[in-house]
Amino acid sequence: MLSKGFRHANRYRKIVTTLARYGFGYIIQEVGLFHIMSLPKRLATNPGEFDSRSIGVRLRKVMEELGPTFIKLGQMVSTRQDVFPPSIIREIEKLQDDVAPFPYEDAKKQVEEDLDGPVDELFAEFSIEPMAAASIGQVHKAKLKDGTPVAVKVARPNIKEVIEKDLDIIQDLARLLTQRFSWAKYYRLEGIVEEFASAIREESNYTQERYNTGKMKKNMEVFPAVHIPNVYEELSSRRVLTMELIEGKKMSAFLNEEVTAEVDQSKLARTLADSFLHQVLFNGFFHSDPHPGNLYILGKNQVAYIDCGQVGRLNRKMRNQFVDYVIALTKRDPLLVTKAIFEMAYIPKNIDMERFEDDVEYLLDKYYDQPFERVRLGEAINDIFSTAHRYQIFIYQEYTMLAKAIITLEGVCEHLDPHLSIAQAAEPFGRQLAIERYRPRAWFSDFKDEVKEQEETFRSIPKELQGALKRLNESHVGVEMMIPKMGLFLNKLDRISNRISFSITLLSFSIIMVGLIIGSTFGDSSSILVQLPVIEISFIIAFFMFLGLFFAIFKNGRF
């Protein structure tokens, strides 16, 4: 079980002892790691020694102390407000990604290795001190040979190896916890860790961020008031990303200042809302972390999105499902909301449908007793997601990521324009998407996607059926179906069919006899058939056939 983890025994020990030091030693002891790793028993703290309200604080400190992978893991945990308690989410959201920078010489070496040339030849200028440092990498200000200012992101040395090592250990721990604790099974801990591992790997790869940024820039061309930085492909790699330097004002700084006339806040809020909804509902490709630190104000009403390392993706089917869900919320119809959720989640077999629908109705009545345009859409979505989780309904990650992004964006827009409703802003987009859905081209595209999705299943059916029949034949397995009262029904059916057969035979026998008698009486006496004893012979044959059928029917007792 721990074969992967123990390739990194020292790191494993560091993680386990850190967890124990912050009050989680009893969990480590329960899964047997104290014995395996020969740890002192004093680390196995009693959970009663710590205030349960401090769990979030202690988890945050563990993540901060264990470094980049755990900080990113924590940031992603904060997007799962449908799964984890609010007290933990509030603390995890405080995770600071501002860490000490690594030496310039290391950054320079990495740039030169990846871009195949000396820094002095690649750039006209390259700052020694970084502009910002985070867990994955740091940013240096630079200038191209033509004088264009750029920002160069450089990954931390060996960050890929560090992340992979930590992910191996985290996945090991998730498996152990799932085997021992019901809460780990309840939260589907292994599945959540797998989702996070995939996201962390993607974010730590600047090639992926380069692609995301280029795609986002193309998608946002329809919004002149939205700016996405240019990416310089020839000066980028997996560990180095060179982008246009955005020199506007950070949204986070602007929101803490006094209101000024320099910015049209209402237009800026509407631009943010419309551009984000367009990303979600038409592109199916959206910035999943639009917090104020990732937004810049350029001029009076222009906004720039930066840091496209984390993006969400929704295919056409998912976009339609999300629109159906929002429409169901606007109608305050618990049945429609329930149906929409069931399309967006993994549903357990033993769910109490009526009870879940009642809870949804209660939440709608209690929380949405106000005009829908005044409701914060992100919170509305997330509250019902949280209710769903109590029934072990696990909303797919794409939707939970979207809910978190909407909540974040609503917070920004609310500061800029308290009167703007994301729910209202979404209405025309939803209406247009609904119209698009029923156009022949869209319908055909959906049909084609559905056929493609089921193609593999259809192809596998003959093979699976052949295999099943072969197994049945080889093992001589019989199949018995127990259906209440089916035997009685079949018995009655058999009796009816026998009586019908008997009646038809009797009728046929009578018709033959009548025909023969009439023929002998009025027919041509010179006929050879009349001269032969046909009546007697036919009677004898028909009589014995009749007796045989009668005997067979009565023998099986079903007359």
How confident is the model over 59-116, as pLDDT tens digits?
A: 999 998 898 889 888 887 777 776 777 788 888 888 766 678 999 999 999 999 999 9
Distance from C-alpha of 66 to C-alpha of 97, rounded to nearest angstrom: 12
Q: Using 50, 70 and 90 to split pLDDT, how confident is the model at 393?
A: confident
Question: Which one, of 430, 378, 367, 432, lies nearest residue 400 by Cα?
Answer: 378
Residue type, 199: A
In percent, the amount of the chain with pLDDT more than 90 equals 26
> DSSP character for 231?
B
Q: Taking all residues of the chain, what is their mean pLDDT, rounded to a whole number?
A: 79
For range 460-487, the mean pLDDT: 58
Question: Quick check: 314 pLDDT over 60?
Answer: yes
SS3 544: helix
β-pairing, 149-155 vs 137-143, is antiparallel
Longest dimension (CA), the chain: 130
Query: Phi, psi at residue 357, to the nearest 5°?
Result: -65, -40
For residues 204 and 476, the model is more confident at 204
Q: Using 50, 70 and 90 to split pLDDT, how confident is the model at 468?
A: low
- Helix ranges, 204-333 (H): 206-219, 251-255, 265-278, 316-331
Single pTM value for the model: 0.72
Q: Which two tokens stand for residue 477?
A: 């397995």
Distance from C-alpha of 202 to C-alpha of 488, rounded to nearest angstrom: 63
Range with the lowest mean pLDDT among 186-195, 253-262, 384-393?
Answer: 253-262
Distance from C-alpha of 345 to C-alpha of 385, rounded to nearest angstrom: 10
**Residues 6 or more apart whose Cβ sits within 8 Å of residue 505:** 545, 546, 549
**Residues 6 or more apart whose Cβ sits within 8 Å of residue 113:** none
Residue type, 483: I
Query: What is the pLDDT, as a whole number, of residue 488?
Result: 47
β-pairing, 285-287 vs 311-313, is antiparallel
The separation between the first and the last C-alpha atoms of the chain, rounded to the nearest angstrom, is 67
Q: Which two tokens stand for residue 535?
A: 């009546």
Query: What is the pLDDT, as a whole number, of residue 391?
Result: 87
Q: Which residues pair with 294 in a beta bridge?
A: none
Distance from C-alpha of 169 to C-alpha of 177, rounded to nearest angstrom: 12
Distance from C-alpha of 295 to C-alpha of 309, rounded to nearest angstrom: 14
Q: Annotate 317-331 with b (16+ C-beta within 10 A) or e (fewer).
A: ebbbbbbbbbbbbbe
Q: Using 50, 70 and 90 to split pLDDT, how confident is the model at 506?
A: low
Q: Is residue 402 within 8 Å of residue 312, measured between CB atoms?
A: yes
Distance from C-alpha of 271 to C-alpha of 232, rounded to nearest angstrom: 27
Question: Quick check: 504 pLDDT over 80?
Answer: no
Residue type, 476: H
Per residue in 173-201, pLDDT (tens digit) is 889 888 888 878 877 788 888 888 888 88
In percent, the amount of the chain with pLDDT more than 70 equals 70
What strand order describes the sheet that includes 302-305? 226-227, 302-305, 295-298, 249-250
Per residue in 515-555, pLDDT (tens digit) is 656 555 555 544 444 455 655 666 676 666 666 666 665 55
- How far are the Cα atoms of 98, 123, 124, 490 from residue 127, in angstroms, in the given order? 19, 10, 10, 89
Per residue in 403-433, pLDDT (tens digit) is 889 988 998 998 899 888 888 888 888 788 7
For residues 480 and 117, the model is more confident at 117
